[in-house]
Amino acid sequence: MSDHVLTQLTPRVWWLNPVSATDRPTLGVIVGERGSLVVDAGNSPAHAGALRAAMARHDLPAPRLIALTHWHWDHVFGAATLDVPALASHETQRVLGLMAAMDWGDQALDQRVEAGVEIAFCRDMIKAELPDRSGLLIRPPEIGLADALTLNLGDVTCRLIHVGGDHSPDAITVHVPEERVAFIGDAIYDDLYHGPRRLTARLLFPLLDRLLALDAAYYVAGHDTEPIGREQFARDAAELRAIGALVGRIGDDHDAVVAALPAALGAQPDAGHHEIAAAFLAGLRLPEVASPL
């Protein structure tokens, strides 16, 4: 796909831009002298193939291992195509084991949306990216990690850390200390699977602390169009925290939260701030959720 550009971020780290038309997320490549670790496998064989072709164009060593940041379809459907061992959290392994046995035909997918275990957005994007899914092969990750694991690629290491969060409790971050880069997947985004988009201070605040504690100059997020520099990431985190704390203080009163937003932010809120406030309010109403699968 010509929309994809593989860009070098640091001497040993590259990233493939996300394409929102069919919800293709950012993919990462960490190049070591013992081979490349790919971060997330893409949302289809075509997406994984676009990454592999771009890597070949830049003479990067072929993928040797894949790290899957979480189980959502757009990050994993390309894994079988890359055909190298995958690493993920135990919970990602569990869910992908279930997904591997599922029927991904149109009718089954529609039924799962009806039953509330799939969301319409993902169903529509799956159909758009992969109209024919008869040959779709979902391969659960070979290697599971509980809390953290360090990969040695020779001249560079990758630290896989289970971080969780509202978006997907199985989420891991891939930190490359020598390059000061952290691939954070979708971890800081909101939960899409339980009605209105949700965020909770209980899960998000400690997650932000953990991510900010990493020695990273860049944070690469799953659907952001550019890597986020450390200062910007700290500012974004402070805004999330300010809005979450405000909602925690005021409680479930939308109008009062909106009225207090300018003072809490020290600026006029934009549409994004209002969405974050709405997500924290949804999190107050539904503080705990079970995995959809």
- Least Å distance, CB 59 to Zn ion, is 31
72 binds Zn ion (CB under 5 A): yes
Interface with Zn ion in residues 138-167 (CB under 5 A)? none
Stretch that binds Zn ion, among 147-155, 185-193, 231-239, 247-255 (CB under 5 A): 185-193
Binder to Zn ion among 186, 191, 236, 239 (CB under 5 A)?
186
In the complex with Zn ion, the residue whose CB is nearer, 179 or 186, is 186
In the complex with Zn ion, the residue whose CB is nearer, 186 or 239, is 186
- The count of residues interacting with Zn ion (CB under 5 A) is 2
Contact (CB, 8 A) for 68 and 173? no
197 binds Zn ion (CB under 5 A): no
- Least Å distance, CB 187 to Zn ion, is 9
Residues 6 or more apart from 226 whose CB is under 8 A from it?
A: none
Could you please report the per-residue DSSP string of the chain?
-TT--EEEEETTEEEEPPBGGGTBPPEEEEEETTEEEEE---SSHHHHHHHHHHHHHTTPPPEEEEE-S---HHHHTTHHHH-S-EEEEHHHHHHHHHHHTS--SHHHHHHHHHHTSS-HHHHHHHHHH-S--TT------SEEESSEEEEE-SS-EEEEEE---SS-TT-EEEEEGGGTEEEEETTTSPB-SSSS-B--HHHHHHHHHHHHHS--SEEEETT-SSPEEHHHHHHHHHHHHHHHHHHHHH-S-HHHHHHHHHHHHTS---HHHHHHHHHHHHHHHS-------
- Least Å distance, CB 185 to Zn ion, is 7
Stretch that binds Zn ion, among 4-12, 105-113, 182-190, 237-245 (CB under 5 A): 182-190
273 binds Zn ion (CB under 5 A): no
Stretch that binds Zn ion, among 16-24, 67-75, 83-91, 267-275 (CB under 5 A): 67-75
Q: Which residues pair with 65 in a beta bridge?
A: 37
Stretch that binds Zn ion, among 119-127, 180-188, 229-237, 258-266 (CB under 5 A): 180-188
- Least Å distance, CB 70 to Zn ion, is 6
In the complex with Zn ion, the residue whose CB is nearer, 106 or 121, is 121
- Least Å distance, CB 193 to Zn ion, is 9
Q: How many CB atoms lie within 10 A of CB 211?
A: 22
Stretch that binds Zn ion, among 12-20, 70-78, 92-100, 107-115 (CB under 5 A): 70-78
Distance of alpha carbon 128 from alpha carbon 112, whole angstroms = 17
- Least Å distance, CB 143 to Zn ion, is 21
- Least Å distance, CB 28 to Zn ion, is 15
In the complex with Zn ion, the residue whose CB is nearer, 52 or 72, is 72
User: Residues in the site for Zn ion, rule: CB under 5 A?
Assistant: 72, 186
